[in-house]
Structure 1
Amino acid sequence: MVVTTKAIVLSTLKYGESDLIAHCFTETDGRKSYLLKRVLKSKRGALKPSQFIPLTQLEIVANHKNKGTLEYIKEAKVYSPYQSLHTNVVKSSLVMFLSEILKDTIQEEEKNSPLFQFLTASFNWLDSGDSYANFHILFLLKLTQYLGFYPDTSEGVSTYFNIMDGRLQNTYANQYCEEGAHVLIFQQFFGIKFEALSQINITKIERLEVLNLLMRYYQIHLQGFKKPKSLEILNQLFQ
């Protein structure tokens, strides 16, 4: 079936000498994997490697057989061009990190409009934003809403974050209850928008502790989740 849809490139993998496999999150059909034949060598082809840089927003015409095999893209054009996301050194490191996260967390081949809209809005904000040192923390927190394990904050500001039960609480229940300054800092990110990130002033060490807390939380709630390889590079960039 030929489908015209918007799509976000999650990652690509070189296949052979001239082909690419592109993993994309489409607006109409969820995650799809495409075989891009001879895209690395053909200068006159309809598809270009530059169109498939991670997190690029495309409009594609694709053939979806929906049989769990690699699909094919007939046409592609950049739908929402970025101004700085792939050229700013720090932002491009964030792109690498987020690409790894999304490649491992988005698996369903089904339509999810709220998640798609969240991703496009988030990347557009990051592209134009100038206060993004804490962007990945808020992004990971907000992403849990769409993955099904957003923390329970009904007790308000709390002493402990129970990463197993996914809730903030004031009583110690088990070994999964984490406490400390990083838990209190983490709670500053609840209920805010990206525009408010400039109001959160934390040190590099504090940011790293909060991020590691989120990584442990993801590992518990997503089977097979591993810390992204780009995490170390990302942590070295932010001061």
Structure 2
Amino acid sequence: MPRKTPRTSPGRREDGATTKAQILEAAGGVFAEKGFDRATGKEIAERAGSNSAAVNYYYGGIEGLYTAVLIEAHRRLLTYDKLVALAEGPGDAVGKLETLIGQIARTIIGPASSSWALRVLSREILSPSPAFPALVQQEILPKKLVVTGIIGEMLGLAHDDPVVTRCALNIIAPFAMLLVGNKQIFTRILPGINSGGLEAQEAMVQHFQRFAIAGLMATATALQSDNH
């Protein structure tokens, strides 16, 4: 008679998922504070209220854990599913791009700017780790295709046209600078930048939207002139 495989009770599965999530959350905080090179599995496990073996059990080691944290951090900035829903939803490309810029800008300059997710991404941009290729393949490239698709629709070009790529760079660059930049340095060099209040933050969001759309419209006009 074949031996039956023991079944894990729903309660145990739930406990395992909870422990895994707690480890990831604790790791996010440690990696944000110390970076990948100085973080240890022991400290992460202690913060999560678990033991060091749990890091290996759930993530295969600290390298796998850091990769998972990095991917989760990018998802907290912007999920692929929400991005696709926006791109495939109602409205024109201009409105979609405005919405996208607004979502990203509010996350980066709003209260979430102090979260471990954005600080981990900031560290990774400044000093890429061995996990960076996984982030690129799993999160950045799929999302980039959606964004360049929206931009290409506005310009009447393919998503991989060099003009679209340059425009994408112009749109992304300010957010990358805000993500990795020190706010105190920014305010000393550009004292007019003030993200302290909700009204000032919203004014900055609207500026990013206006500036990006105006640049794309100017590019579209130039393309039409070149084709005549």
TM-score of the two chains, using structure 1 as the length reference:
0.25
**Larger strand share, 1 or 2:** 1
Structure number with higher relative contact order (C-alpha < 8 Å, ≥ 6 residues apart)? 2
Higher CA-based Rg? 2
**Larger helix share, 1 or 2:** 2
